[in-house]
Amino acid sequence: MKNKTPQEDILTQERQRLLEFQLNYLRKELLYLTHERYRMTYSVSGQIYRFLRPIESRIASFVGLDVKESGGAEAYVKVLEQDAPNSANACLAQRLLVDVSGTIKRDAGTGIQRVVKEIMRAYCRPEPFEIPILAVRCENNRLFTANDFTKALGGEATGPDIEINVGSGDCILMLSDSWNAFDELAPVLEQIHKQGGRIITCIFDLIPELYPHACHEVTVPRYHAWLRRALLESDAFLAISKSVASELADYVEINKLPHRHNLKIGWFHCGADLVAGPTRAPREKIRSVFAAGAPVFLIVGTIEPRKGHGVALEAFEKLWASGVNAHLTIVGRRGWFEEATMATIIHHAEYGRRLFWFDDADDQDLAHLYEHAAALIFPSYAEGFGLPIVEAARFGCPTICSDLPVLREVGRSGALYFRVNDPEALAGVAQGFLAGDLKADPQATLDVTWMEAAQRIVDILTREEWLFCLA
The model's pLDDT over 400-427, given as tens digits with 9 standing for 90+, comes to 999 999 999 999 999 999 999 999 999 9
| pLDDT computed for residue 338 by the predictor | 92
Pairing of strands 170-174, 133-139: unpaired
| pLDDT computed for residue 226 by the predictor | 93
DSSP states of 155-180: PPP--S--B----TTEEEEE-S-GGG
Range in 43-52, 89-98, 392-401 with the lowest mean pLDDT: 43-52
| pLDDT computed for residue 444 by the predictor | 98
| pLDDT computed for residue 28 by the predictor | 77
Give the tens place of pLDDT for each residue, 333-354.
999 999 999 999 999 999 999 9
Is the predicted pLDDT of residue 106 greater than 60, yes or no?
Answer: yes
| pLDDT computed for residue 162 by the predictor | 94
143, β-bridge pairs? 138
Identify the band that residue 8 occupies on the pLDDT scale cut at 50, 70 and 90.
confident
Are 441 and 398 in contact by the 8 Å Cβ rule? The answer is yes
Query: What is the distance of C-alpha 73 from the center of its chain?
Result: 25
Q: What is the pTM of this model?
A: 0.83
Whole-number Å distance between alpha carbons of 51 and 43? 14
Is the predicted pLDDT of residue 61 greater than 90, yes or no?
Answer: no
Q: Of the candidates 414, 406, 371, which has an alpha carbon nearest to the alpha carbon of residue 392?
A: 371
- Which H or E run contains 239? strand 236-239
Identify the band that residue 126 occupies on the pLDDT scale cut at 50, 70 and 90.
confident
Whole-number Å distance between alpha carbons of 348 and 354? 10
Residue, of 157 and 143, whose pLDDT is higher: 143
Pairing of strands 375-378, 399-402: parallel
| pLDDT computed for residue 58 by the predictor | 55
Mean pLDDT of the chain: 86
> What is the CATH code of the structural domain delimited by 72-271+451-470?
3.40.50.2000
Is the predicted pLDDT of residue 239 greater than 80, yes or no?
Answer: yes
| pLDDT computed for residue 211 by the predictor | 94
Whole-number Å distance between alpha carbons of 405 and 14? 14
| pLDDT computed for residue 39 by the predictor | 63
Are 205 and 307 in contact by the 8 Å Cβ rule? The answer is no
Whole-number Å distance between alpha carbons of 315 and 274? 29
| pLDDT computed for residue 105 by the predictor | 81
Q: Environment class of residue 78 by beta-carbon count within 10 Å: exposed (0-12), middle (13-18) or buried (19+)?
A: exposed
Give the tens place of pLDDT for each residue, 318-327.
999 999 999 9
For residue 250, which phi and psi values (nearest 5 degrees)?
A: -65, -40
Is the predicted pLDDT of residue 295 greater than 80, yes or no?
Answer: yes
Return all residues near 275 (Cβ < 8 A) that are at least 6 apart. 118, 121, 363
CB neighbours of residue 186 within 10 Å: 14
Q: First and final CA of the chain: distance in angstroms?
A: 33
Identify the band that residue 66 occupies on the pLDDT scale cut at 50, 70 and 90.
very low
Q: Do domains 72-271+451-470 and 284-447 have the same CATH topology?
A: yes
Q: Where are the beta strands (DSSP E) in 12-159?
A: 95-99, 133-139, 142-145
| pLDDT computed for residue 71 by the predictor | 35
**Fold (topology level) of 284-447:** Rossmann fold (3.40.50)
Range in 61-70, 203-212, 442-451 with the lowest mean pLDDT: 61-70
| pLDDT computed for residue 454 by the predictor | 96
Return all residues near 116 (Cβ < 8 A) that are at least 6 apart. 100, 102, 103, 175, 176
Task: Tell me which range, 15-24, 106-115, 277-286, 398-407, is most confidently predicted by mean pLDDT.
Answer: 398-407
Find the mean pLDDT for residues 357-384: 95
Are 313 and 357 in contact by the 8 Å Cβ rule? The answer is no
Q: Which amino acid is at 367?
A: A
> In the chain, pLDDT over 90 holds for what percent of residues?
64
Are 426 and 379 in contact by the 8 Å Cβ rule? The answer is yes
Q: Environment class of residue 109 by beta-carbon count within 10 Å: exposed (0-12), middle (13-18) or buried (19+)?
A: exposed
Are 298 and 267 in contact by the 8 Å Cβ rule? The answer is no
Residue, of 10 and 417, whose pLDDT is higher: 417
For residue 433, which phi and psi values (nearest 5 degrees)?
A: -65, -45
| pLDDT computed for residue 85 by the predictor | 38
Helix, strand, coil in percent for the chain, rounding step 5: 50, 15, 35
Query: What is the distance of C-alpha 454 from the center of its chain?
Result: 18
| pLDDT computed for residue 25 by the predictor | 82
Domain locations along the chain: 72-271+451-470, 284-447
Residue, of 186 and 422, whose pLDDT is higher: 422
Identify the band that residue 127 occupies on the pLDDT scale cut at 50, 70 and 90.
confident
